[in-house]
Amino acid sequence: MTETKLNLELEVFRNLFVSIAEEMGIVLRRTAFSANIKERLDFSCAVYDRRAETIAMGDHMPVHLGAMPYSVAEALRSHRLEPGDVVILNDPFRGGTHLPDITSVSAVFLGKDPEPAYFLATRAHHADVGGMSPGSMPLAREIYQEGLRIPPVKLFRRGEIQEEILEIILANVRTPDERRGDLAAQMASHSVGERRLIEATQKYGQERIAEQMEALKDYAERMMRARIRDIPDGEYAFEDFLDDDGFGSGRVRIHCRLAIKGDEAVVDYSESAGRQRGGVNANLAITVAATMYCFRCLIEDDVPYNAGLMRPIRVITRPGSVLDAQPPASVAAGNVETSQRITDTLLGALHGALPDKIPAASAGTMNNLSLGGTDPVTDKAFAYYETIAGGMGARPTADGMSAVQNHMTNSLNTPIEALEHLYPLRLRRYAVRQGSGGGGKYLGGDGVIREFEFLTDTDFALLSDRRETRPYGLKGGEAGAAGRNILNGEELPAKGHFSARKGDRLRIETPGGGGFGK
C-alpha cells in the first residue's frame, strides 16, 4: 500500500471517529435542559479504543478532553462494565476535575464478545451540584464545601437506571429537574455513540477498525515527535503567578522547567507552590490536559487529537502541590483558573525555545460567575454559571483577537435573550473593553465588559484572576490590562462569595491580551 493511499485511508477513519464524537455532542446539546450546556456548550465527548486510550475527541473543551482519560481509567478500575452500564463520577481525586463536571463512561460490546470493543465518555458542567453557594463554584477551604462528591458509581446497570443513586444526587442539588434532564442528555449521547460505532464496525470489520485506531495513535505520535525534534535541545524555564487563593495567600507561583532532548520533552512543574487554602488547587489530570493542549498547538497541521500525542512527553509534578492536588484540597478554580496559568507558564517556557512562534499571554482567566436564589415568578430555586471571554495575546505576526474565549476553554456566551428569559437577570451592558489589550508592534486583543442587573435578591460567587497580575507581553510588547469586578461602583476582589439585592448591578471587566514586539 502506498504512503498516499495509507494517509487517505487514515484520514477517512480519523474523520469517521471524530464525527461520532461530534454527533454525541450534538445530541447532548439538543437534549440538555440547562443553558450552560445547550447555550454555552460547556461539555465534551470522546471515543476510546478497547485499551481505553483516546482515539477521537469532538471540537469541545480542551481542559475536559485532556483530563477525561483519567476518568475513564478510574471508572474501569472501579467497575467491570457490562452491556447497558453507565458509570458516572465527578470526584477530582478519582479521575474528575472539579465537582460541577460530571463524567459518564460506558462500554461498547460487539455481538456476544464479553470484553468491550470500545469505550465512550462525556463530560458536562452541571450548573449546580450543591455545596455552600449556588452554582457550586464557591470560594472554599476544603472540597466538602464545594458540592456533592460522586465516586465512580453505576447510574445505569444493564440498561436500568439506578433510581437510588439518582435520588441521592437530586436530593443534594438546588435544581433537581435540570440535573435530571442534563444527566439524561448525557445518557442519550452515549446511545448514539454506541450505535454509530457498531454501524462502523459492521461496515468495515472489527479488525480493520482496530488497526486504524492504532495507526491513528502512531501517526499522532510521529507528528508530535517530529515537532519536538524541531525545537532546539536544551532547558527552558518560566514562571507566572495567580493573583491569590482568595484567602490572603498572596501570589501563587506556577513554575515550569522544560527539557527538550531529541524528539522527547520533559515538563517539570515540581517547583510550583504548595497546596493552597482556596480552590485554586489543580489535580494531575488538569495539569496534563494543559500540557497536552500547549504541545498540540505547536503542530501547524491538523493532527489527530488522541493518546499518541502524549507519548513523547513526560509530566512531572510534586504530589500535594497546587498542580497535583490531594484530598481534602478545594479545587473549584483549579480546572478553570489554574489551568489557564499552567498554559501561560508552559507557553512562556516554549517562547524561550521558539521566540518567533509563541504568542503573548491571553486573558489568563475564565472570569467565572455563578449565582442563584429564588425566582420571584416561579418561586423555585435557580442556579446559573458562566465564563466570560477576554482578550487574546498578540501573535508574532498579527494582533490578538478581542472578546474571545482563550486556551483551556472553548465555550460560547449565553445569548442575552436566553439569559433574560431563563433567569431573573437583566444584562445592562455587553461590549468590547476598548484599549484593554497590551500595546506593541502587534496589539493584544481587548477584553469585554458585561454588566448584570439582579431582578431579585441573589447570592453570587466570583472565581477570577488577572485582577492584580497582568497578561504578559513578549519581545517588548506591553502587558494587557488587568480585569475588574465591580458591584454598585465598589470594587470586589477576584475571588469570593457575595450577596446582592434586587436592583444591584454587577459589572465585570475582563483582561486584555499582552502585546507582541516593540
- Residue 338: predicted pLDDT: 98
pLDDT of residue 89: 98
Q: Tell me: pLDDT of 395 over 70.
A: yes
- The answer to whether the CB of 310 falls within 8 A of the CB of 270 is no
Mean pLDDT score, 22-50? 95
**Does a structural domain hold residue 237?**
no
Per residue in 195-242, pLDDT tens?
A: 999 999 999 999 999 999 999 999 999 999 999 999 999 999 999 999
Where a domain ends, among 180, 202, 220? 220
Q: What DSSP designation does 482 have?
A: P
* pLDDT reading at 4 higher than 60: no
Mean per-residue pLDDT of the chain: 96
Q: For residue 38, how far is the Cα from the chain centroid?
A: 16
| Residue-level pLDDT at 1 | 44
Domain with 464 in it: 359-518
Confirm whether 286 is domain-assigned.
Answer: no
Q: In angstroms, how far is CA 1 from the centroid of its own chain?
A: 40
Closest CA to 336 of 462, 232, 161, 182: 462
Q: Which pTM value belongs to this model?
A: 0.95
Q: Which three cell numbers stand for residue 478?
A: 506591553
Domain end, chosen from 169, 202, 220, is at 220
Q: Is residue 319 part of a domain?
A: no
| Structural domain ending residue among the three candidates 175, 201, 220 | 220
101 pairs with which residues across the strands?
A: 125
The reply to whether 344 falls in a domain is: no
What is the number of domains present in the chain? Answer: 2
Name the nearest CA neighbour of 236 among 253, 221, 255: 255
With 0-12 / 13-18 / 19 or more C-beta atoms within 10 angstroms meaning exposed / middle / buried, residue 80 is exposed
Q: Give the confidence band of 503 by pLDDT, cuts at 50, 70, 90.
A: very high
Residue 297 maps to a domain:
no
Q: Within a domain: residue 455?
A: yes
* Cβ 292 vs Cβ 313: under 8 Å: yes
In this structure, what C-alpha cell is assigned to residue 92?
477530582
Among residues of the chain, what percentage have pLDDT more than 70?
A: 99
In degrees rounded to 5, what are phi and psi of residue 72? -60, -45
CA dist 206 and 192 (Å) reads 19
Q: Do the domain assignments include residue 471?
A: yes
| Rg, the chain, Cα only | 22
H-helix or E-strand spanning residue 285: helix 284-298
In three-state secondary structure terms, 507 is strand
Q: Treating both helix axes as pointing N-terminal to C-terminal, what angle do 206-229 and 3-31 enclose, rounded to 10 degrees?
A: 100
For 9, the grid coordinates are 485511508
Residue 21 in this model has a pLDDT that exceeds 50:
yes
